[in-house]
Structure 1
Amino acid sequence: MRSLRLALACGAFTTSCLMAALAPSISHAANPQLPAFTDQEVSDAYIYLLGRLLVQRQQQLDFQQGMRWNQLVHRKPGAVDWPNPNLDVAYSEAWVAVDEGSCTLVSVPKISDRYYTVQFLNGWGETLANINERTFAQQPSGDFAVCLKGASVTLPTGVQRVDLPVRTARVLSRVELGADPQQAERLQQQFSMRPTGSPQLPEVPQALLFGLQQLPGVEAFDAAEVALKEPDLNPGMEALQANVHALAALASDPARRAHLDEVIRKQAFAALVKAAPTLGPGTVRNGWVRPAVSGTYGSDYLTRTLVNLGGIWANTQAEVNYFRGTVDDHGEVLDGSRSYSLTFPRDQLPSGFARYFWSITATDARTFKVLPNAQGRFLLNNQSALRYKPDGSLTLYFGPQPPAGVAEANWLPTVEGQNFRLVFRYYGAKGAVAGGDYFPPVLVRL
């Protein structure tokens, strides 16, 4: 039962996926021209492809909602619509297109004593670059030219060049709201973007649109040829890509399509459910999961797909460290009808592990969206008016009502009858968090 509850905590799949028997292997004796695939190979190819389809889906939705190439869109704080956003920052978004004759100029204002970054990601959700005072310490503000690697382009004096290995990229700028959100928004508005010339703007590929709680089956392979036009920059993916191409051809065979769909819905979905509680090869301690990688994934396409599904646009661990909490000290999933406490000893306070800021957000375990509440309170962070105990320790509370005698500022509301999960972020991690040895304390059921 405990493993079943853990699987339910990941939320995006049905319990039947866990209980499904493995489908038999797909054979092709009737057509020797088609290769034979084991169920495991089908599952692996599907999970690999799904990571790309999730980004392509978001791109399609972005352009449907009015985004245009090389135009930065400033969002109001909290006004982004993707899974598990960071509510500590003001986001601005764009899709950049560059070619051999044109770069995109990105202007960054001077920002002091406040976290910010401009992140560039490729079509698989891999971080390509960050612009901030850590990566460009000599000149962290001003104009940056984002160019296709190898492009011969004359740039204005004083412009710093940032080469990308791809022609299109997703951009997210983040400015910490901090103690003065209005000032953060004023800074946000000073970020700008424009092309240096007249780039050949690509067509937005038609994506397979699906709900995050209703993942595609065999139809994923119908979209494979378009999806794989986006290069995967990680080495060693050639065999997986070859299998995806071959399965895309196989999916067009009516005699085998239904069986291929069955294998996906049983084995691939079950594999995702099994991997979700630990984010693939992530580490679990005290009921918290720390992903093995984020932002850049190398050969770990399983983690990449799970992150793209449950919290797209993750940045690298050099920028932020993530922990996800889904169970309490009894090993039970977090239930919005119950109350929990999280206590940090004086020498283990969250502020001691973050150069910039830390925060905890509660999200729906099924949709990954923040929990609605009458207080309009969706996170606790270093800007909250937290009350510390006489011994210097800090206790935070999560539940439908604040426990008696508890400072309301230390309480994050949950929704009765609704499972939830917590996401802990450390921006500019330091000490044991940066070293990978730290995990938040266990969540105690009250």
Structure 2
Amino acid sequence: MSLVTLTTLPMLCFANTPMDASGKARQGQGAVTTVTGPAGSIMPVGYAESVAAFAYVWGWPLVNMHNRQQVFTKVPKQLLLAGVMPAAPINHLTMLTDYVSPQMRDVAHPNQDVVYGFGILDLAKSPVIVQVPNFKNRFWTMMVEDQRTDSLAQLGSMHGTQSGFYMIVGPDWQGDKPAGVTNIFRSSTNLAVVAPRVFMQDTPEDRIAVQEPIAQIAVYPFADFDGTMKSTDWKSLPHVPDPNAGKTAGEKAWVKPETFFTDAQLGAVLKEVPPLAGEEALYQQFGELLKQAKAHPEIQQAITKVAQDVEKNVLPDLFRLENIGKRIAHGWAKPMNNGRFGTDYLTRLEVAKSNIFTNDYLETNYLYQYNDQNGQRINGNYEYTLTFAKGQTPPVVKNGFWSLTMYDHNHFFHQNEINRYSVGTKNKSLKYNADGSLTIYIQNQCPSGDKVSNWLPAPKDDIAMTIRAYAPAEALLNNTWQPPAVVKVE
């Protein structure tokens, strides 16, 4: 069989070995075939719309990450945006010093069990050093994810990570491990994010104690590495006004459908993010779509309308936490591959839309709830209980922790009179029942008597709740442990 090289068309080459009915290769018939890509044929608007719909759900998380990085390129120094969101120049990091504020609207679905930090990387500019202090017996994890929001590093107490210096490099970096660097982690994309989480008990004493280790958390370009531990007084950072603060009750809009199908958005992602195995043809189709849209205004107009329609009519269902992952006991939903999505485009988009920057599945399990035991949407105008049987709180390994967090219908905190947004391991005042069980009281009004210590305040509206288990035990990972029902009080 002769091969014709079509130099004007994108193409994929692969070994094509014919098989017989039993699956065995037919001898002597193996050949290399050329699979060509789009040939620039006339593209009807209807076809363009079909391709565009999938391109939007495929590319939404990646464009989201691209746009976050673009914002951070304008950050001049380490600071707190609107006093609540840690921001830093590219290839650096900023830490909070307490739980995240209820006013923060940059990242949906935060928790109030850890002290967060955040930084965005451009590894094409430089590898970066991640400085890890001595956390002693405190739980911590350092989430590092690529542009696809897939985890790429194992840094944390559950991994036995020692104090020292670790390096994050991009896909094209070559070289030997520098002296003084403990380990190197490679990102599949030059864009990456780093988000430390350091457990803090809800006590005045631990708010003081946690400051020492978090002061030595750092991320910086490799050129600044000298082998010595750097320290930062995070409490001294400037608070910079956010012109977008208070404009939305939900997360800031990081993806705009009106500009999605442009070279600056989807086109940039196709260049920034290398295709996974088997995605080459997708990239060709999406690239041809953008090319045809630039040449034909009617196509550009049509696919922009598709983006707007998908954003309005498809993504709201993907935003709902109850639709993420698999349904387990009592209406709880649980993703089984957070931080390791690969080509699971559905779950990646669901998580990116509803609660981006989840930890790797082995590091944190997330269980989401929208409904009571009767399948009715939970709402703060009613009262509920959640009771863990004796010894049946979410199982975690040594130094791990669990929590139950309350959210409004936008997946953010709603201000309440006692400033409590989660309960769990961090709360030393929880009271157990006589039989050893633990009951959480979920309601808007303060309960009577000794129930206050177990009260999880709820806004008077539709609500959502999440169980988190940091350093989940095997019973959680294999789903033999099941969460209890949310019971409506009649």
AA aligned to 2:184 is R
Residues 249-291 of structure 1, C-alpha deviations (whole Å, 9 max, x = no match): 3444322344334444445643434444444553243121101
TM-aligned CA deviation for residue 167 of structure 1: 2.9
Query: Does 2:349 match 1:287?
Result: no
Question: What TM-score comes out, normalization by structure 2 length?
Answer: 0.74
- Pick from 48, 55, 59: which aligns with 2:65? 55
AA aligned to 2:415 is P
TM-aligned CA deviation for residue 64 of structure 1: 4.1
AA aligned to 1:92 is G
Q: Which residue of 1 aligns with 2:16?
A: none
- Kindly tell me: are residues 166 and 56 of structure 1, through their superposed partners in 2, closer, same or farther at Cα, counting changes over 3 Å? closer
- Pick from 243, 247, 269: which aligns with 2:289? 247
Find the residue that maps to 2:58 and give its secondary structure.
helix
- Pick from 82, 91, 97: which aligns with 1:70? 91
Note if contact 1:339-1:400 (Cα within 8 Å) is conserved in structure 2: yes
Q: Which residue of 2 aligns with 1:7?
A: none
Larger RCO (CA within 8 A; separation ≥ 6): 1
- Kindly tell me: are residues 361 and 134 of structure 1, through their superposed partners in 2, closer, same or farther at Cα, counting changes over 3 Å? closer
- Kindly tell me: are residues 172 and 395 of structure 1, through their superposed partners in 2, closer, same or farther at Cα, counting changes over 3 Å? same
Note if contact 1:350-1:358 (Cα within 8 Å) is conserved in structure 2: yes
Note if contact 1:289-1:325 (Cα within 8 Å) is conserved in structure 2: yes
Find the residue that maps to 1:330 and give its secondary structure.
coil
Query: Does 2:135 match 1:111?
Result: yes
TM-aligned CA deviation for residue 405 of structure 1: 4.7
Note if contact 1:236-1:299 (Cα within 8 Å) is conserved in structure 2: no
TM-aligned CA deviation for residue 396 of structure 1: 0.5
Q: Which residue of 1 aligns with 2:426?
A: 383
Count, aligned residues: 401
Find the residue that maps to 1:392 and give its secondary structure.
coil
1:129-144, aligned counterparts within 5 Å? Answer: 129-135=153-159, 137=160, 140-144=162-166
**Bigger mean CA deviation after superposition, 430-439 or 339-348:** 430-439
- Pick from 178, 182, 186: which aligns with 2:212? 186
Q: Which residue of 2 aligns with 1:174?
A: 197
1:316-355, aligned counterparts within 5 Å? Answer: 316-350=360-394, 355=399
TM-aligned CA deviation for residue 58 of structure 1: 2.4
TM-aligned CA deviation for residue 232 of structure 1: 4.7
TM-aligned CA deviation for residue 298 of structure 1: 1.4
Find the residue that maps to 1:374 and give its secondary structure.
coil
TM-aligned CA deviation for residue 353 of structure 1: 7.1
- Kindly tell me: are residues 108 and 424 of structure 1, through their superposed partners in 2, closer, same or farther at Cα, counting changes over 3 Å? same
The CA distance in 2 between the partners of 1:63 and 1:361, in whole Å, is 32
C-alpha RMSD of matched pairs (Å): 2.9
Find the residue that maps to 1:286 and give its secondary structure.
helix
Residues 275-323 of structure 1, C-alpha deviations (whole Å, 9 max, x = no match): 4444455324312110132011011111111111111111111100001
AA aligned to 1:114 is R
The CA distance in 2 between the partners of 1:328 and 1:354, in whole Å, is 31
The CA distance in 2 between the partners of 1:145 and 1:281, in whole Å, is 32
Note if contact 1:359-1:424 (Cα within 8 Å) is conserved in structure 2: yes
Query: Does 2:222 match 1:196?
Result: yes
- Kindly tell me: are residues 212 and 144 of structure 1, through their superposed partners in 2, closer, same or farther at Cα, counting changes over 3 Å? closer
The CA distance in 2 between the partners of 1:145 and 1:441, in whole Å, is 42
The CA distance in 1 between the partners of 2:181 and 2:291, in whole Å, is 51
TM-aligned CA deviation for residue 153 of structure 1: 5.0
Query: Does 2:43 match 1:34?
Result: yes
1:271-310, aligned counterparts within 5 Å? Answer: 271-277=314-320, 278-310=322-354
TM-aligned CA deviation for residue 325 of structure 1: 0.6
Residues 119-178 of structure 1, C-alpha deviations (whole Å, 9 max, x = no match): 21112212111322444x3x6111223334552256224643333333332111121113
- Pick from 412, 429, 434: which aligns with 2:472? 429
AA aligned to 1:399 is Q
AA aligned to 1:33 is I
TM-aligned CA deviation for residue 38 of structure 1: 7.3
TM-aligned CA deviation for residue 430 of structure 1: 0.6
The CA distance in 2 between the partners of 1:369 and 1:235, in whole Å, is 36
AA aligned to 1:197 is A
Residues 93-128 of structure 1, C-alpha deviations (whole Å, 9 max, x = no match): 22233359x532222111222111222111221211
- Kindly tell me: are residues 243 and 354 of structure 1, through their superposed partners in 2, closer, same or farther at Cα, counting changes over 3 Å? farther
AA aligned to 1:194 is Y
Q: Which residue of 1 aligns with 2:185?
A: 162
- Kindly tell me: are residues 325 and 73 of structure 1, through their superposed partners in 2, closer, same or farther at Cα, counting changes over 3 Å? same
Find the residue that maps to 1:55 and give its secondary structure.
helix
Structure with the greater alpha carbon radius of gyration? 2
Q: Which residue of 1 aligns with 2:229?
A: none
1:200-215, aligned counterparts within 5 Å? Answer: 212=251
Query: Does 2:216 match 1:216?
Result: no
AA aligned to 1:161 is I
Q: Which residue of 1 aligns with 2:120?
A: 95
The CA distance in 1 between the partners of 2:289 and 2:92, in whole Å, is 37
Note if contact 2:442-2:456 (Cα within 8 Å) is conserved in structure 1: yes
Runs of at least 5 residues in structure 2 that lack an aligned partner in the other structure: 1-39, 77-87, 226-247
AA aligned to 2:193 is R
- Kindly tell me: are residues 329 and 134 of structure 1, through their superposed partners in 2, closer, same or farther at Cα, counting changes over 3 Å? closer
The CA distance in 2 between the partners of 1:47 and 1:115, in whole Å, is 35
**Bigger mean CA deviation after superposition, 170-179 or 143-152:** 143-152
